[in-house]
Amino acid sequence: MFSDGTSVGILFLLLIFLNLSLRIEKKPMLIFSKKSCQLLGVFWLCLGMFWVSVSITNMPLLSDIRYRLSYADQYDKNVDFKALSAKDIAEKDALISKSNRNKYFLKTYQLLESKADAREVVKTLYKAAFFDQNNPRISLYLGYLLSDYDLYLANEVWNAYFELSPPAKFNDFRSLIYYSKDKYEVFLSLENLSYLSNEYAVEFALLLNDLDFQKYIEVNSLNRFTVSNKNSQFQFLKRLLEEGFFDEYSEYVTKHENDIANKIILEAIHQKELANFEQALSILRNHILPVRINIYQHNEEKKYLPRVFMQNYPDVEMGAVLIKNEIDEKNYESALIYVDHILSINNPPEYAYYWRAELLYRMKDYVNSWFAFITYLEKVNFQPLSK
């Protein structure tokens, strides 16, 4: 009823009957009379043409199949779930149109809200998946729905979805774990999915809290965290250092020495985690281009008065000139005061972040200088440190 191939096959059957009815032989063996073949031919002609027209217009007779063929790529995001939740079980049925293409999805929600028998919920889930085969992500959506009611069943649905071609569904997995990270119980239940691929394992590990991260690393081989994505790899190695897994970090770097990007930055972070802030800054500063501060020419007609600058909304041009003058005189503490004043405005210039870190370094306040440099790098979207 819904196959183009069947329709064409029926038309070929028509031709066979017509051929039988029109054959002329010297000694015909009348298996069927000519009249019977012609009647059968006409019958199959009508039936075949009917089926072809049905296939072309995509309007099968069976209503559920019609719904299935008319499904969109995703479920209707405008469904009023709150209205469904507010109604009792009898009234909810009236809200679900029998011709609604998402009716089994809505029916599942209805059963969950009414705390129906699990077998009935599963049966409806199967219907939702079957009649929405044009939507390959239906199981993913159903998992989101189920996670608020039955976490075990939600994981069963997610497992069925992600087990098929895990690499192709990486973005869906990443969206799922970021969605569930604020529902930590749901997030932890996704650990089984993290074993489907190394990329899954790294992304999952990065969102674990400190204690669970340590447990996860201890029970898994480092080979599980070998990934081709350089940014994910960097973030994972950075997290290893921050959590004190120095031996594991060294083992990973030794094994994948030629495949690790931004090793110099990681080494700076390594020294910082060992509390060698001066050494860490020495490494970091060698890979940061200094930011010019003499971006404004000294205007002879303008008075650059520190008191006026500090008592008013920061004048960026005046501040830059005052800061440069103090730096030239090696008055780093005074220059830092002006920098902090500029940083009080909305959207401060990038040079202010850089020179705050640099001035702290020249004042030998290495701890605060490190964090100021990290802030500067984040503000300029320094790629290795961006998440």
What distance in Å separates the CA atoms of residue 267 and residue 273, rounded to the nearest whole number?
10
- When pLDDT is averaged across residues 286-297 and rounded to a whole number, the result is 80
The DSSP result for 318-336, as a single string, is HHHHHHHHHHHTT-HHHHH
What's the Cα-to-Cα distance from 172 to each of 179, 206, 387, rounded to whole Å? 10, 16, 18
Whether the pLDDT of residue 248 is over 90: the answer is yes
What distance in Å separates the CA atoms of residue 258 and residue 272, rounded to the nearest whole number?
23
Residue type, 225: F
Whether the pLDDT of residue 319 is over 90: the answer is no
What distance in Å separates the CA atoms of residue 278 and residue 360, rounded to the nearest whole number?
12
Q: Radius of gyration of the chain from Cα atoms? A: 35
- Structure confidence by residue, pLDDT tens digits, 17-47: 777 766 655 555 555 666 777 787 788 778 7
- When pLDDT is averaged across residues 258-279 and rounded to a whole number, the result is 91
Domain ranges of the chain: 4-61, 62-164, 306-385
| Residue 145: other Cβ atoms inside 10 A | 19
- When pLDDT is averaged across residues 257-283 and rounded to a whole number, the result is 91
Whether the pLDDT of residue 68 is over 50: the answer is no
* Residue carrying structure tokens 């929600």: 109
- Structure confidence by residue, pLDDT tens digits, 173-207: 999 999 998 899 999 999 999 999 999 999 999 99
pLDDT score for 245: 94
pLDDT band at 3 (very low <50, low <70, confident <90, very high): low
Rounded to two decimals, the pTM is 0.67
pLDDT band at 114 (very low <50, low <70, confident <90, very high): confident
- Structure confidence by residue, pLDDT tens digits, 342-367: 999 888 888 899 999 999 999 999 99
- When pLDDT is averaged across residues 68-72 and rounded to a whole number, the result is 42
